[in-house]
């Protein structure tokens, strides 16, 4: 009963403080001041309130509980639960992520396709399908070009997130289904189709390709997963259980080479050095022992009085693209 009394006492103080603030009261050091000044030293968090006030609030809470018990009403102490879901979502938002997708030459626009995704670490990951017209650095499911399942947060992703399925664990295998005949996407977990809250086996419908779909996944830093596209259909663990009888084919059926996976990475942009800049770029021609290069210096400027200004030291990282000729000729 003590936790309940303490919670009621704290709530009494918070309600009182809220009303005071609404009427324009603020914190003041001296309790014995004119009421017109609207200041009080008790307008502080409950943990810092004078012990006399806390005890008075506790006594008031006890009296209120006794009155309720006389009317046959009994209250249970509050249960303090740790919100694991909110903690997971915050961690996922803060995590560094990277999206991988299959090479664009492997796109599909018709047919029914299947591959498997094995969870090797517990953490934030999404698996699904992406149209190659999507920006390569876009996370899976945040736009209208991609569709994903996230068993860590238990959500499906397309233009945002919705509750879907159940939580996956390390060692679980997710089956990814793409039906371009009926325009649907579905997922399975260890051979059982994942159902949405309405009981439907379809995670997404009205799935229409633009330039074609490829398998894709978004992983946060440190996460690991194993993809099986079915070059050897016998290596697919749950394909015969769910997929084969429905007319799906392994995504890399009859292929011998591994399918390349690409990822997007933000690269720095190059900008022109205008004449007004303090930086000066000089091209140094090649010599017999060294290739051509660029020399970056800082221009010497003069003040209005005619004296030379001291150069400010700057640290600059210069990244340059490298181009090679189609053929190389021996220098004479």
Mean pLDDT by 10 residues, the chain (332 residues): 82 85 72 64 82 89 84 66 62 80 95 98 94 90 94 92 92 97 97 89 95 96 94 94 95 91 73 77 82 78 61 58 72 64
**What is the domain-level CATH number for residue 22?**
1.10.490.160
What per-residue confidence (pLDDT) applies to 305?
62
DSSP three-state, residue 303:
coil
Q: Please report, for the domain that includes residue 116, its CATH number.
A: 2.60.120.920
Q: Which of 37, 70, 103 lies at the terminal end of a domain, its last residue?
A: 70
pTM metric for this prediction: 0.58
130 shares its domain with 195: yes
Question: Rounded CA gap, 185 and 27, in Å?
Answer: 59
Domain that holds residue 222: 88-263
Q: Enter the tokens of residue 250.
A: 């392994």
The reply to whether 125 and 239 lie within a common domain is yes
**Domain co-membership, 29 together with 142:** no
Domain count, the chain: 2
Question: Is the CB of residue 281 less than 8 Å from the CB of residue 260?
Answer: no
Query: What is d(CA 304, CA 289) in angstroms, rounded to the nearest whole number?
Result: 44
Question: Is 22 part of a structural domain of the chain?
Answer: yes
| Total residues found in the chain within this entry | 332
In a domain, 114, yes or no: yes
Burial tier of 276 (Cβ tally within 10 Å: 0-12, 13-18, 19+): exposed
Q: Which residue has the tokens 């190659």?
A: 132
- The answer to whether position 140 is within a domain reads yes
Give the three-class secondary structure for 197: coil
Question: In the listed set 263, 284, 319, which residue is the last one of a domain according to the structure?
Answer: 263
């Amino acid at each position: 009963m003590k936790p309940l009394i303490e919670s009621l006492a704290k709530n009494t103080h918070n309600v009182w403080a809220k009303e005071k603030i609404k009427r324009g009261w603020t914190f003041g050091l001296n309790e014995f001041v004119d009421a017109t000044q609207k200041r009080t030293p008790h307008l502080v968090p409950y943990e810092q309130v004078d012990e006399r006030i806390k005890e008075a609030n506790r006594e008031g809470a006890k009296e209120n509980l006794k009155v309720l018990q006389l009317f046959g009403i009994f209250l249970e102490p509050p249960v303090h639960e740790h919100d694991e879901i909110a903690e997971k979502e915050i961690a996922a938002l803060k995590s560094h992520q990277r999206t991988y997708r299959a090479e664009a030459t492997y796109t599909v626009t018709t047919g029914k396709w299947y591959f498997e995704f094995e969870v090797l670490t517990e953490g934030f990951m999404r698996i699904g399908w992406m149209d190659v017209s999507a920006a390569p650095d876009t996370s899976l499911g945040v736009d209208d070009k991609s569709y994903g399942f996230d068993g860590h947060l238990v959500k499906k992703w397309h233009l945002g997130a919705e509750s879907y399925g159940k939580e996956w664990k390390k060692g679980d295998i997710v089956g990814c289904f793409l039906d371009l005949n009926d325009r649907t996407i579905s997922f399975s977990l260890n051979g059982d189709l994942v159902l949405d809250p309405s009981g439907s086996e379809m995670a997404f419908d009205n799935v229409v390709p633009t330039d074609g779909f490829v398998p894709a996944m978004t992983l946060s830093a440190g996460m690991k997963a194993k993809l099986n596209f079915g070059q050897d259909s016998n290596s697919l663990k749950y394909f015969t259980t769910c997929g084969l009888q429905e007319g799906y084919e392994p995504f890399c059926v009859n292929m011998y080479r591994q399918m390349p996976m690409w990822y997007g990475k933000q690269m720095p942009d190059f900008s022109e050095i205008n004449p007004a800049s303090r930086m000066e770029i000089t091209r140094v021609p090649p010599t017999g022992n060294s290739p051509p290069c660029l020399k970056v210096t800082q221009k010497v400027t003069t003040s209005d009085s005619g004296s030379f200004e001291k150069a400010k030291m700057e640290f600059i990282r210069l990244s340059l693209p490298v181009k090679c000729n189609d053929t190389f000729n021996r220098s004479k």
